[in-house]
Structure formats: structure tokens, C-alpha cells
């Protein structure tokens, strides 16, 4: 914007008032310089700036595409690794289960053998004991029979009778059985 | 704003003086030849430098991750490129450098004109008429070269009822020839009006009582002018794209 | 006297600026009304909005130009 003092001086000097835009005498000057400016800007843009920016944008697009592809690749690899890990984990789990089962079976077998052996021993001991008890019982019956016979004989003798050994034995035996 | 010539009270307004074309060297009365170096030359040259600074220097590093300047350059590029692609279609892309030239020139000239004491090259009808008629002739010639006589189908609205078509054709032809006039006068008029209003508000600041209001007014109008500068560059460019589309695809 | 008439004419021509303001407001207001009804379609129509505003405004600029011509060139 032109300063006022200048403008006032120009008006005083006889410059035409009105619109400078309609001053035809300046047109060819403006048009000449405008054409030069347009051509200059056109060449600067079309030769230098626009190809360069297009190149930068294409390069960025390429980089982004590459990066996305790399990221996809890494993601696929991560998924693969996860699958492998899962596989290994389930394998290990199955193995552990197998080992545990085997161990359990072995222990069960040992246990069964031991229990059988113990059962057999217990049965043997029980039979022995029963035998001993039966012997003792038989011994005891015999002794009771003797005692009863003797006692009966003595009692009969004391009562003044003559005890018949065979009838006493028969009586005692029948009593004992009864 | 008329008071300059007729002396309005105590105030002196010179809203149009800012548009005066003056020789850069020498005094005011010197004749202006076509080759004379004037303030027009200076500010057109600064526009070129601004375009170079904005589009070339900022992108010299070719960063994949752009910095501030490069982002601006890429933003401009993407903005105009998308505009051309959206409006004219794929076959308009090869005219992209021309449209980019227009956009960058008008944008830089408009913004440089907003610097106080500067000269607004785009406020001159001579400048914008060259731009507007340049687009008009380029588009018309291109239309005839690309489509031959069928380019005239642009004026024959085949979707309208038959009796209406001649009337519509006349209207279309008139509007076609008004295009370059409105195209150029819109730009020059917007810039001229805004700057003249700025000057008028600045003139009110000569009275101490209303000076604060006037200065606030100047600030507000200045903000509006920044907006108008960008919008006018955008409008000029998008209308160029629309005209180009008509030339490439003349059938409605 | 003729100069005075030209000034009056310039003032009358300046009314056109107000008319253009109404036109621009109409365009922007209708765009906003439509955009609020269907916000998803609004983004694609901003170019049309600006073209409409530019056309409406150009006629106001013409009246401004007539005013300037009456002021300075007649």
C-alpha cells in the first residue's frame, strides 16, 4: 500500500485520479511481467518441484507398502512361532500324561504284588493260628475228658460203688458231646 | 472512498492509491514502457521467489518423514492434485502442472499483497484478465482439438425438452462467453474491494475518537482478507478445473 | 451535477453488494441445512459449495465494479 504523502504529492503533480486498474498505459507493462512470472513459475513447478514431490510421495508410498508387507511377514512368523509353541506344549502335556500313567500302572502293579503277598502271608498265618487253636482245643477236650473221668471215678469210689471204667468213659464222652 | 477526488471533510482517503503502478527506479512522472521495471515487476518477482521457497527449497531434503515446510509443499500438491482428479477426472491429470501454476501464483500473489505497503498484483484487471482469458482460450481450443465439432454439444442440452433447447443454447453460449469475464473480475474485484476497505478503515483512524474502533475494524477485515485470499485462489483453480472438465467431456 | 448523479448511481449500485451477501448467505445456509441432515454427504460437496458461493459473489463484485466505475471512471 502506497503511503499517503507520496500519493498526495502525486495527486498534486497532476496524476489522474481514479482507478489505477483502468489506466491502459500500464497494461502492457503488467502483462509482459506477468507472462514472464507465469512462465518462470510454470518451469520451476513442472521441472523441479512437482516431479520431486511426486517422487517423495511415491517413495513414501513404497516405504509404507514395504513396511506393511514386512509387518505382515513378522506377524505370520509370530503366528507360526505361537503354533509351534502350542504344539510343543501339547506334546509335552501328552508326554507328561503318558509318563504319569505309566508310573501309576507300575506302582499299581507293585502294590498289587505286595498286597497279594501280604494277603497270602496273612492267610498262612491265620491257618497256622487256626491249626494251633484247633490243637489247643483238642488238647483241652482231652484233658477235660481225663479230668471228668477221673473225677467221676473218684466220686463213684467215694460213694462206695465200683466204677466201671468203660461206662464212665461212655458217659463222659456222651456228655462232652452233648 | 470517493472523498479522495472531492475532498471529504477533514479526512483524506486514498483507497485506490495502493494500486498505482510506478516505476521502481526514477520518479512518478516517467513513462511506463512494456519493459520498465515497476513495482509490478518487484511483487511478481517476489511471488516467484515465494513459490520457489514454498515448493522447491522445502522439499530439497526429500525426507520420507516430512518436516514442517515439506508438509506444506506436499499438502499443496495433494490438495490441487486431488482437486484436478476429482473435478476433471483421470484424463485431466496431464494438465495438473498448469493448474498448479495458476494456484500457486494466485495464492502467493494474494498473500504477498496482504503485507502492509505491498502491491497486490492480482488486484489488477490486466493481470487477472490475462489469467482468466488464458484459461478461456486454452480450454476452448483444447475442447475443439479433443472433441472436434462435437464440442458444440456443450451448448445443446440434450436432456432438455426439444422446444427449450434453442433458448437454452443461447443462454449457455452467453454464459460461456461471460465465464472469462467473471473469472477474472471475481479475483481482481475481491482483492481490490478488500484492500480498498482496509484503506478506508485505516483512513478513519485519522480521527482520534474513533481510531480504536477503526483499528479493530482493520484487524477484523485483515483476518477476513486472509481467508478471502486463500478462497479466491481455490475458487479460481476449481473453476479452471470445471471449465477444463467441460472441454474434455462436453456432453452433459 | 453529472458528478453528483454518478455518486448517487454508485450508491445505488452498492446495494448489489448487499444482494450478493443475501445470495451467499442463502447458499451457505442451505448447504449447512443439508449437511446437518446428511453429514456423511457434506464432505464431498464442499467444492460445490465454494463454486456456488463464488458465482453468487461474482455478481456482487460486478455491482461493486459498477460503483467503482461510476465513482472514478465516469
The tens digit of pLDDT for each residue in B87-131 reads 898 888 999 999 999 999 999 999 999 998 889 999 999 999 999
Q: What span, in angstroms and rounded, lies between the C-alpha atoms of C54 and B219? A: 24
Number of domains observed in the structure of chain C = 1
| β partners of residue B23 | B38
The CATH number of the domain holding residue C23 is 1.20.20.10
ipTM: 0.87
Q: What is the pLDDT of residue A3?
A: 44
* Closest CA of chain C from B162, distance in Å: 28
Q: What is the pLDDT of residue A39?
A: 95
Averaged pLDDT for residues B163-189: 90
Greater model confidence, A10 or A58? A58
Q: Is C65 exposed, middle or buried (0-12, 13-18, 19+ CB in 10 A)?
A: buried
Q: What span, in angstroms and rounded, lies between the C-alpha atoms of B138 and B142? A: 6
Is residue B124 within 8 A of residue A21, CB to CB? The reply is yes
3-state helix, strand, coil in chain A (%, to 5): 90, 0, 10
Q: Is A48 exposed, middle or buried (0-12, 13-18, 19+ CB in 10 A)?
A: middle
Using CB atoms, pick whichever of A9, A15, A29 lies closest to residue B38.
Answer: A29
Greater model confidence, B69 or A16? B69
For residue B242, give the chain C residue with the closest CA: C51
pLDDT at B9 over 60: no
Q: Please identify among residues 175-234 of chain B the ones whose CB lies closer than 8 Å to any CB of chain A.
A: 188, 192, 195, 198-199
Is residue B139 within 8 A of residue B243, CB to CB? The reply is yes
For residue C72, the chain A residues in CB contact (below 8 A) are 17-19, 22
Domain locations in chain A as residue ranges? 40-177
Q: Please identify among residues 6-35 of chain A the ones whose CB lies closer than 8 Å to any CB of chain C.
A: 17-19, 22
Q: What is the pLDDT of residue B7?
A: 42
For residue A35, give the chain B residue with the closest CA: B130
Q: What is the pLDDT of residue C47?
A: 84
Domain ranges, residue C46: 2-73
Q: Please identify among residues 14-73 of chain C the ones whose CB lies closer than 8 Å to any CB of chain B.
A: 47, 50-51, 53-55, 57-58, 61-62, 64-65, 68, 71-72
Averaged pLDDT for residues A158-167: 77
Buried/exposed A146-174: b ≥16 CB within 10 Å, e otherwise: eebbeebbeeeeeeeeeeeeeebeeebee
The three grid cell numbers given for residue B64, joined into one nine-digit string:
520420507
pLDDT at B8 over 60: no
Q: How confident is the model at residue A17 (pLDDT cuts 50, 70, 90)?
A: low
Greater model confidence, B30 or A126? A126
State chain A's mean pLDDT as an integer. 85
The tens digit of pLDDT for each residue in B43-52 reads 999 999 999 9
The tens digit of pLDDT for each residue in A114-148 reads 999 999 999 999 999 999 999 998 888 888 888 88
| β partners of residue B38 | B23
A–C CB contacts, 8 A cutoff, strictly below: 10
Name chain C's partners: 3 or more CB pairs within 8 A.
A, B
Amino acid at each position: 500500500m502506497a503511503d499517503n504523502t507520496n500519493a498526495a504529492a502525486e495527486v498534486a503533480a497532476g496524476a489522474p485520479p481514479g482507478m489505477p486498474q483502468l489506466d491502459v498505459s500500464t497494461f502492457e507493462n503488467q502483462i509482459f511481467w506477468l507472462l514472464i512470472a507465469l512462465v518462470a513459475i510454470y518451469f520451476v513447478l513442472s521441472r523441479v518441484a512437482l516431479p520431486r514431490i511426486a517422487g517423495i510421495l511415491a517413495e513414501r508410498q513404497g516405504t509404507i507398502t514395504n513396511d506393511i508387507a514386512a509387518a505382515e511377514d513378522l506377524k505370520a512368523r509370530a503366528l507360526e512361532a505361537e503354533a509351534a509353541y502350542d504344539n510343543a506344549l501339547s506334546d509335552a502335556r501328552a508326554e507328561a500324561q503318558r509318563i504319569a500313567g505309566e508310573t501309576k500302572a507300575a506302582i499299581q502293579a507293585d502294590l498289587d504284588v505286595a498286597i497279594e503277598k501280604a494277603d497270602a502271608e496273612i492267610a498262612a498265618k491265620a491257618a497256622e493260628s487256626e491249626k494251633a487253636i484247633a490243637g489247643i482245643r483238642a488238647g483241652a477236650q482231652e484233658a477235660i475228658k481225663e479230668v471228668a473221668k477221673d473225677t467221676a471215678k473218684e466220686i463213684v469210689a467215694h460213694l462206695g460203688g465200683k466204677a466201671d471204667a468203660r461206662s464212665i468213659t461212655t458217659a463222659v464222652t456222651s456228655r462232652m458231646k452233648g | 472512498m470517493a472523498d479522495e477526488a472531492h475532498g471529504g471533510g477533514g479526512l483524506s482517503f486514498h483507497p485506490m492509491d495502493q494500486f498505482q503502478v510506478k516505476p521502481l527506479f526514477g520518479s512518478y512522472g516517467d513513462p511506463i514502457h512494456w519493459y520498465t521495471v515497476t513495482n509490478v515487476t518487484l511483487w511478481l518477482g517476489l511471488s516467484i521467489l515465494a513459490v520457489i521457497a514454498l515448493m522447491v527449497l522445502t522439499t530439497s531434503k526429500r525426507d520420507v518423514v516430512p518436516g514442517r515446510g515439506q508438509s506444506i509443499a506436499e499438502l499443496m500438491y495433494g490438495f490441487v492434485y486431488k482437486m484436478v482428479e476429482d473435478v476433471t477426472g483421470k484424463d485431466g491429470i496431464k494438465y495438473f502442472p498448469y493448474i498448479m501454476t495458476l494456484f500457486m501464483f494466485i495464492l502467493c500473489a494474494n498473500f504477498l499483497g496482504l503485507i502492509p505497503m505491498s502491491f497486490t498484483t492480482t488486484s489488477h484487471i490486466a493481470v487477472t484478465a490475462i489469467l482468466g482469458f488464458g484459461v478461456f482460450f486454452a480450454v476452448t481450443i483444447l475442447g475443439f482439438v479433443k472433441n472436434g465439432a462435437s464440442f458444440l454439444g456443450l451448448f445443446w442440452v440434450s436432456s432438455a425438452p426439444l422446444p427449450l433447447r434453442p433458448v437454452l443454447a443461447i443462454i449457455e453460449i452467453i454464459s460461456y462467453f461471460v465465464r472469462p469475464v467473471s473469472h477474472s473480475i471475481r479475483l481482481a474485484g475481491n482483492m481490490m474491494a478488500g484492500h480498498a476497505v482496509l484503506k478506508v478503515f485505516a483512513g478513519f483512524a485519522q480521527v482520534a475518537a474513533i481510531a480504536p474502533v477503526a483499528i479493530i475494524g482493520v484487524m477484523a477485515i485483515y483476518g477476513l482478507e486472509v481467508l478471502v485470499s486463500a478462497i479466491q485462489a481455490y475458487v479460481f483453480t476449481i473453476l479452471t478445473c470445471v471449465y477444463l472438465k467441460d472441454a474434455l467431456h462436453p456432453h452433459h | 451535477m453529472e458528478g453528483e448523479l454518478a455518486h448517487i448511481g454508485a450508491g445505488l449500485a452498492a446495494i448489489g453488494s448487499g444482494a450478493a451477501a443475501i445470495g451467499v448467505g442463502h447458499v451457505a445456509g442451505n448447504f449447512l441445512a443439508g449437511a446437518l441432515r446428511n453429514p456423511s454427504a457434506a464432505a464431498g460437496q464442499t467444492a460445490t459449495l465454494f463454486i456456488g458461493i463464488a458465482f453468487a459473489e461474482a455478481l456482487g463484485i460486478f455491482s461493486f465494479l459498477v460503483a467503482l466505475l461510476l465513482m472514478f471512471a465516469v
